[in-house]
Structure formats: structure tokens, C-alpha cells
Amino acid sequence: GAVVSQHPSRVICKSGTSVKIECRSLDFQATTMFWYRQFPKQSLMLMATSNEGSKATYEQGVEKDKFLINHASLTLSTLTVTSAHPEDSSFYICSARDWASFGYTFGSGTRLTVV
Amino acid sequence: QKEVEQDPGPLSVPEGAIVSLNCTYSNSAFQYFMWYRQYSRKGPELLMYTYSSGNKEDGRFTAQVDKSSKYISLFIRDSQPSDSATYLCAMSVDFGNEKLTFGTGTRLTIIP
């Protein structure tokens, strides 16, 4: 089946630094990828929709300048958390749609801890 | 009011029991309904999906959708300890690059 590879799985960074998270679709092309954020014991909240070759669409309340999304190819989307602060600590998950099957395939997630 | 409501649990049942997980929703435009299983610190994996109302069975899992009541269910028969996870319902209006709306997830533990 379709696989979405996400890395790093865990990252700890200092407050004020930037962190890049990569999401790759393996063996299928993804024109659209989705970035979610999940706090402990809470559901996935969509942050933005990443479109290959165009600007991402951000959900209301998500800071575009803080969460930079780049979708430069049909298999790679990146999320960069700029000037990270402790409140940005969370579990970030990407997903992509494989048109060969129904449903959205999720990456394994990235646990970000800002200290 | 949230678009999708799901009891967060936790829910603990003995091995072999039948598990019933449920979600209600308010947006009558939802047509596609999914259940995802999420193990701790992992991304969700798709278990089942259904379109519109009706039942769908896959092995020990049965998904039911009642659009008239805006209510969906996932049943797990002969539950196993490996079924212990968080189960999330998700819905969308359209089939395509449409964002999913998730429930909060129900944390399930199967006791050996």
C-alpha cells in the first residue's frame, strides 16, 4: 500500500531556532499533502494544505510566517517551524492522498520539543 | 458545538469482548466516513471507510453509518490486546483532496 515517510520522528530544539520536518510520498505522487498538529489526548487539527507548485492554504488561526510550508515536488512537502517556542511543542503529522485507493495515508509523525 | 463529537474514553474491555465505538456529527453534508487507528506516538492508519449510509464489514471490524441520525459506529468483534489503541473517526464532504474533520479519538484498552 501507499506509504508516507516522515522524518525526523523526534526532535528537540532550543527556543528561537527553526526546525524542518519532511514528508515524502513513497511509490506514489501526491499533488496535495496535509499538515496536522496533535496535542496530547486531543484530535488532529489541520494546520495547512500543501499544494505542489503553489502556495499552501492555511487554516484560520495558523501563522503563515511561523509555519512555512514548501511543496516543491510531487513527492516531498516540508514544514518549517520558525523561531520555535515551547508552546510549539507538539506532535506534527503529515498525510497525503493516494488516488489508487481511498483514504489518506499518514506519516508516522514528528514529536517536536522546544526547550 | 464541534462538528464531530466522540467520547474520548478511556474504554477498557476484556479480551474477546465486542467493542462499540461511536461518533456523532452535525454537518449533514458529510458523505465519506472513516475510522483510523492510532498507536501511541504514531500516525493514524486507515481501518475502514464507508460512503453514505449502510454497513461495511472487514474481518473483525464492522462500520455502520446512519446519516438520518448523523451517527456512525465501529464494532470490533473478538477483541484482542493488539487492538488497544486510540480510534479516531473522520469525515469529509467530498471525495478528493478534501480536508478531513476528525473526532477527538477514543482510547481503547483490551485487557488480556
DSSP chain A: --EEEEE-SEEEE-TT--EEEEEEEESS--SEEEEEEE-TTS-EEEEEEEETTS--EEPTT--TTTEEEEEEETTEEEEEE-S--GGG-EEEEEEEE-TTSSSEEE---EEEEE-
Of the given ranges (A9-13, A97-101, B108-112), which has the lowest mean pLDDT? A97-101
Using the 8-state DSSP alphabet, how is residue B93 labeled? S
Q: Is pLDDT above 80 for B104? A: yes
Q: Give residue-wise pLDDT tens across range A40-75.
A: 878 889 999 998 888 999 999 999 999 999 998 889
- The sign one gets for the Cα dihedral A53, A62, A101, A28 is positive
Contact A43 B88 (CB under 8 A): yes
- Best residue in A104, A105, A106, A112 to probe B by mutation, most B CBs within 10 Å? A104
What residues in B contact A41, CB-CB < 8 Å?
Answer: 8, 104, 107
- Best residue in B94, B99, B104, B106 to probe A by mutation, most A CBs within 10 Å? B99
Residues of B with CB under 8 A from a CB of A: 6, 8, 34, 36, 41-46, 49, 88, 95-97, 99-100, 102-105, 107
Please give the average per-residue pLDDT across A86-98, as a whole number. Answer: 92
What does the pLDDT read at residue A101?
Answer: 65
Lookup: cell for B76: 470490533
Q: Give residue-wise pLDDT tens across range A12-32.
A: 999 999 999 999 999 888 888
Neighbours of A91 (CB within 10 A): 19
Contact A32 B45 (CB under 8 A): no
B71-76/B19-25 β-pairing: antiparallel
Q: C-alpha distances in angstroms, B32 versus A6, A40, B1, B79, B101?
A: 26, 26, 21, 26, 11
Contact B45 A108 (CB under 8 A): no
Q: Which of B36, B96, B104 is nearest residue A42 as measured by Cβ atoms?
A: B104
**CA dist., res. A36 & res. A95, Å (int):** 8
Q: Is pLDDT above 90 for B94? A: no
